[in-house]
A and B are shown apart, each in its own frame.
Chain A
Amino acid sequence: MSLRLQPVQVATGSNDAESQLVFEDGFLVAVLVHLSDEHEGDAGKWYLEAGFGRVDSPDPPKFADLNEAQAWINQRLS
């Protein structure tokens, strides 16, 4: 399954702004936010700010990089 990423700024009310919209076949399935320095040990990770449909999670994960995030999203969609 191929995902398409689109860079975007998200107003999270914090310093976490750099983000990616994640599309599958033209449908928005997730919003990933790059965690800023204020998250200390988690800084630099990508956080599932929002997931839609099967990508929704009550316990949203953090990923070391965008490849790991996309693999997880693909797994949820498969």
Chain B
Amino acid sequence: MLPPAGRVKATLVSASSSDLIPLVRKLESITQLTGEERQALESLPAAIRLMQPRQDIVRDKDRPEHCCLVLSGWTYRYKLLSEGKRQILSFHPPGDLPDLQSLHLHVMDHNLATLTACRLAFIPHEAFRDLTNRFPGLGAALWRDTLVDAAIFREWMTGIGRRTAFGRIAHLFCEMYLKLHSVGLATSHRCELPFTQVDIGDALGLSNVHVNRVLQEMRGKGLITLQGSRLVIVDWGALSEAGEFDPTYLHLRAGETA
């Protein structure tokens, strides 16, 4: 099921052939595709929805019949604990398929929501199954994507368990910049990161007080500037060193480094 119209203020339109290009760019950032595979991806049937910020797309225990592709805006996965405590599990920019696992894991074990206003494509599971039957190379590409997703979780677990607050935020900024850069959405160490300090804290196991202190310190040391959601990494070398950031885990194709 698509998210019920009552849950979100959404507009439904049909996809055109160019709508799904972010998915092609994303997969091409981690693997090589043939012309036929690219065309098959762009021809996937999809329902396009515009969603407002901070709305659930799929919820814990839902049984979605579509995978959601981010065309524009940011989404995030999260879990809710008692007293409304939230753990953000991952952030997803355009090109990501944040609930791809629902293709094989039929019951959602976490929530997926929009962080900003989003344009999303909902691709039926059946269409994905048909696609991967016809194009085993695309099945391998999507498998690779889920393996990279798992590698990112390993890196986040390492950070939350063992990095300092400063290191965690530095690492997050480096990762987000490289992810955006790899799909052509950031360059020259500048990017849009529409996260609040509370979002960053909930993702990295920090209070917003600590996030604020670290951001002040990063600015003070001349590592970054952050105006609204506009992040400029002024000193990539120092920031990546502070976060012990090694991009190997992103498994980007050659040349996709900062």
Q: Is the interface of A mostly helix, strand, loop or mixed?
A: loop
Q: Knowing A13-B217, A14-B217 are in contact, say whether A60-B207 is a contact too (CB < 8 A).
A: yes
Check B209 against A47 for contact (C-beta < 8 Å): yes
Chain A 1-48 interface residues, beta-carbon cutoff 8 Å to B: 12-14, 16, 35, 38-39, 42, 47
Which chain B positions have C-beta within 8 A of A16? 209, 213
CA separation between A67 and B85, bound complex, in Å?
24
Number of B interface residues in the complex (CB < 8 A): 9
Interface residues of A in 34-78 (CB under 8 A from B): 35, 38-39, 42, 47, 58-60, 62
Contact of B207 among A13, A14, A59 (CB under 8 A): A59
Q: Which residues of A contact B217 (CB under 8 A)?
A: 13-14
B 38-69 contacts with A by CB, 8 A? none
Whole-angstrom CA separation of A47 from B208 in the bound complex: 11
Q: How far is the CA of A39 from the CA of B216 in the complex (A)?
A: 10
CB neighbors of A among B199-227 (8 A): 205, 207-209, 212-213, 216-217
CA distance A14 to B166 in the complex (A): 13
B85 and A39 contact, CB distance less than 8 A: no
| Complex contacts, B213 vs chain A, CB 8 Å | 12-14, 16, 38
> What are the residues of chain A within 8 A of B208 when measuring CB–CB?
42
Which A residues are CB-close (under 8 A) to B212? 38-39
Q: Do A35 and B209 have beta carbons less than 8 Å apart?
A: yes
Residues of B within 8 A of A38 (CB): 212-213, 216
Give Cα A62 to B208, complex, Å.
Answer: 10
Closest to A47 in B: B209
- On whether the beta carbons of A58 and B205 are closer than 8 Å, the reply is yes
Smallest distance from the beta carbon of B165 to chain A beta carbons, Å? 10
A35 to B197, CA, bound (A): 15
A interface residues with partner B (beta carbon < 8 Å): 12-14, 16, 35, 38-39, 42, 47, 58-60, 62
B residues within 8 Å of A by Cβ?
85, 205, 207-209, 212-213, 216-217
25 contacts between A and B (CB under 8 A): A12-B213, A13-B213, A13-B217, A14-B213, A14-B216, A14-B217, A16-B209, A16-B213, A35-B209, A38-B212, A38-B213, A38-B216, A39-B209, A39-B212, A42-B208, A42-B209, A47-B207, A47-B209, A58-B85, A58-B205, A59-B85, A59-B207, A60-B207, A60-B209, A62-B209
Q: Top 8 closest A-B pairs, CB basis? A: A14-B213, A47-B209, A60-B207, A59-B85, A39-B212, A38-B216, A14-B216, A13-B213
